[in-house]
Structures are given as structure tokens and as C-alpha cells.
Amino acid sequence: MNQYVELVKEYPILSAIIQFAVLGTFGDIISKWLQQRVIFLPYKFSILFLKMLEWAFLGICIKYAFIGFQGFVESLISHKLLPNLGLFGSAFSVSVLMNLQFGLLLVILHRFLDNLISRENNWKNIDKGMFSLVWFWIPAHTITFMLDKPFQIGLAAVWSVILGIILGYYNREIKS
């Protein structure tokens, strides 16, 4: 565990890139497995590589957002524009502010990049992606922001796998 913490502290952006490239892409794959009820490689290798690049880029964006929004909430508290509500209250505040501002942009950017990779123009159910900010990401990131900083990006990447499992399960194809 100490090696992980040291790696994340020494290479914060690179570690975010790697964690999201691997776990975010794995979440996409698991989602496809659950949707179609079979384990297979749902993407050609070229698409898989582009998906990993997409998740790597999103990992960078998320890392910067985590730092920025945590600093934003700390600044609001220090200027007495937000009460100091302790660990949970602070984590919840960061999660709400980040997801309702940056999260909307991230959902749109994620879909745009998915469309670019798949050469489609699919904006179907984008509202469900935005709604996931409320029912999934705000609670998930509240837990995330209660952890020590070196573990936050790793857990956020794991949450992307969990969301892939949830979405894959609820979007299963009906077999007759």
C-alpha cells in the first residue's frame, strides 16, 4: 500500500492516467458483457486503444477537478462563505459542487468522445448520464473525498467500474 501512495504522490497525473485508462475501460467492457450476457471483447483493438486514451484524458480532467474543487470548498470555508461542517460535510460539499458544475461538462465530453471514437452521433439517454450525477456520483464522491488524497483518484476509477456494472445490468438485452 505504501508503494501505491508513494507512486500517486510522486506521479499524480500519470497515476490518474493509468488508473482511469485501465479501470474506466474495464468498466465499459463489463457493461457490454452484462448487456449482452456473454464475456467477449466488445471492441476491436484499435477502438479499445482509443477508449483507453479517452479514459486517460478523462482521468487527467478528473484529477484537476478534484484538486480544484477541494481548494474551492476550502477557500469558501476559510472566507466564511460556507460553514465548516467537518469531514462528511466538507466531502459532501466538494462532491455536490464538483458534480453539479464540472460533472455536467464531463458527461457531455465523455459522450462526445464516445461518439468520436465510434463515429456515431448518439446523444440518446444523455439525460440519464446527467441524472447519474445525482443518484450515483454525488454519494460516491462524498465517500471518495472522505479518504486521504492519495486514495481518491484510485477510488474514483473503481467507481467507474461499479457504474459500468450497474448500467450494464440495467441495460441488459432481453433474450427470448
pLDDT score recorded for residue 153: 98
The four Cα atoms 158, 160, 31, 106 give a dihedral, to 10 degrees, of: -170
Angle at CA of residue 110, ends 106 and 113, nearest 5°: 135
Angle at CA of residue 174, ends 172 and 176, nearest 5°: 155
Digitized pLDDT (tens) for each residue of the chain, 176 residues in all: 999 999 999 999 999 999 999 999 999 999 999 999 999 999 999 999 999 999 999 999 999 999 999 999 999 999 999 999 999 999 999 999 999 999 999 999 999 999 999 999 999 999 999 999 999 999 999 999 999 999 999 999 999 999 999 999 998 877 65
Enclosing H/E stretch for 148: none
Hey, what's the cell of 160?
A: 467507474
pLDDT score recorded for residue 28: 97
Residue with cell 465523455: 110
Contact 107/78 with Cβ under 8 angstroms? no
Enclosing H/E stretch for 8: helix 2-10
Q: Please choose, from the candidates 153, 162, 164, the residue with its C-alpha nearest in 3D space to the C-alpha of residue 19.
A: 153
Contact 155/143 with Cβ under 8 angstroms? yes
Contact 8/157 with Cβ under 8 angstroms? no
d(C-alpha 20, C-alpha 68), whole Å: 19
pLDDT score recorded for residue 175: 64
What is the per-residue DSSP string for 56-104? HHHHHHHHHHHHHHHHHHHHHHHTTSS---HHHHHHHHHHHHHHHHHHH
Q: Please choose, from the candidates 9, 3, 6, 23, the residue with its C-alpha nearest in 3D space to the C-alpha of residue 154.
A: 23
pLDDT score recorded for residue 172: 87
pTM assigned to the model? 0.95
pLDDT score recorded for residue 176: 55
Residues 6+ apart with CB under 8 A from 140: 156, 159, 162
